[in-house]
Chains A and B, each alone.
Chain A
């Protein structure tokens, strides 16, 4: 009980260290979701509209990759970015950049798989009209992504939820360095193991509040947009 009270006090006091942690968490996760969207949505659209050998297998694989274990992704990105790894010369390991890369790898399959499903459903509805308009492949993809935009928000939210909540990947590639790569989730893990429960609980509450706020914002935008565009 006392730990709950001091956790609230910590949040309400506007502790700058805490806010730096919150800011970094949001920065890393939002960047990862943005990158994953840029990669995943066109990829999903391409798979939705293209017939090629092994397509079913690719779809199953993509769906399976939604459940990638964060620690495994963290390990793989660690090996890539470590001094002796193929991308070691960029010196990204233990920086926010490395964390963004790891989370992008985690989130891209989620966005691509959900976008694939959404766009394929819409394609079934639009196929005759777009074919009758003699629209080329790029025009089709652009039209479908634009018209699926409100449903795709859900895919982005799923990706954001994954990125904001995970700790396994970013603690490996970020290193949980105080003031540099410490995020809400890595801090909660650290403070809990140190026994500083008030800080851990406070960060946990902030994390949940942010996830709810982002979802509420996206939901409102989606509803407003749908009302406008039908």
Chain B
């Protein structure tokens, strides 16, 4: 429908993010390109959310640089993010999606059809006229996914999208993520749920204290972890 994305690959070159004397991301270099979902894992406070915000372009690095398709300072036209606690606009579910379509520059004539498709995709079509803030946590998370997809993104960042959901709601969200990935949308997702990482990952990036301690294809990460942090995390030890 639109021109192919020029926002991939996303490349971090020695990215450091510091707030005061606290270093949140420490000299991170990596590349996100197309393909199966990349899962960021690591304990709370390891820098996963910050990495996603930098990749989205919401937070400038203190040092180092990020390029999108080889360019710097690219506005998020084909990138979208679902925050850990998505903020629902004070409107109906459908109006939330129409708002995102409008912000993405989708012609008004297409809004009704696209809104219907997106709500259908996330299984919320019957709730189109319901106030978004009155939806359940799982429904809000799915609406946030639909709203992000309204931007027709080439890459979708997800920040612990199932962190506070029960298993049924988690499965619904994971099914959507798989469907999204099957549409050639690159998914980059942060989670501290190892089971979820196993279920969805193409490859894994593990963060600890703002540094990348291990990365690689999911199979080898789970079967033969190289770093002691990864082994401890996989063994269920408390990684502090």
Which of A128, A132, A135, A150 touches B80 (beta carbons < 8 Å)?
A: A132
Q: Is the CB of A229 within 8 A of B103?
A: no
Complex-state Cα separation, A41 to B131, whole angstroms: 25
Does B104 sit within 8 A of A, measured CB to CB? yes
Complex-state Cα separation, A131 to B83, whole angstroms: 12
Complex-state Cα separation, A125 to B100, whole angstroms: 17
Closest to A122 in B: B90
Residues in chain B near residue A133, CB distance under 8 A: 100, 103-104, 151
Q: Is the CB of A143 within 8 A of B81?
A: no
Q: Is the CB of B99 within 8 A of A143?
A: yes
Residues in chain B near residue A180, CB distance under 8 A: none
Does B145 sit within 8 A of A, measured CB to CB? no
Q: Is the CB of A129 within 8 A of B83?
A: yes
Q: Chain A: interface residue count, which band?
A: 10 to 19
Q: Is the CB of A147 within 8 A of B77?
A: no
B202-240 interface (Cβ within 8 A of A): none
Does B92 sit within 8 A of A, measured CB to CB? yes
Does A230 sit within 8 A of B, measured CB to CB? yes
Residues in chain B near residue A134, CB distance under 8 A: 75-77, 103-104
Q: Is the CB of B76 within 8 A of A125?
A: no
Q: Is the CB of A129 within 8 A of B80?
A: no
Closest to B89 in A: A147
Residues in chain A near residue B25, CB distance under 8 A: none
Q: Is the CB of A132 within 8 A of B87?
A: no
Q: Is the CB of A129 within 8 A of B133?
A: no
Complex-state Cα separation, A135 to B83, whole angstroms: 17
Residues in chain A near residue B91, CB distance under 8 A: 146-147, 229
Does A228 sit within 8 A of B, measured CB to CB? yes
Does A139 sit within 8 A of B, measured CB to CB? yes
Complex-state Cα separation, A135 to B99, whole angstroms: 10
Q: Is the CB of B58 within 8 A of A131?
A: yes
Closest to B96 in A: A129
A residues whose Cβ falls under 8 Å from a Cβ of B: 125-126, 128-135, 139, 143, 146-147, 150, 227-230
Lowest 10 A-B CB distances belong to which pairs? A230-B133, A230-B131, A133-B103, A147-B90, A230-B134, A129-B87, A135-B103, A229-B90, A132-B81, A134-B76
- Contacts beyond the supplied A126-B87, A132-B76: 17 A-B pairs with Cβ under 8 Å: A128-B87, A129-B86, A131-B58, A132-B56, A132-B58, A132-B83, A133-B100, A135-B103, A143-B89, A146-B91, A147-B89, A147-B91, A150-B90, A229-B131, A229-B133, A230-B131, A230-B133
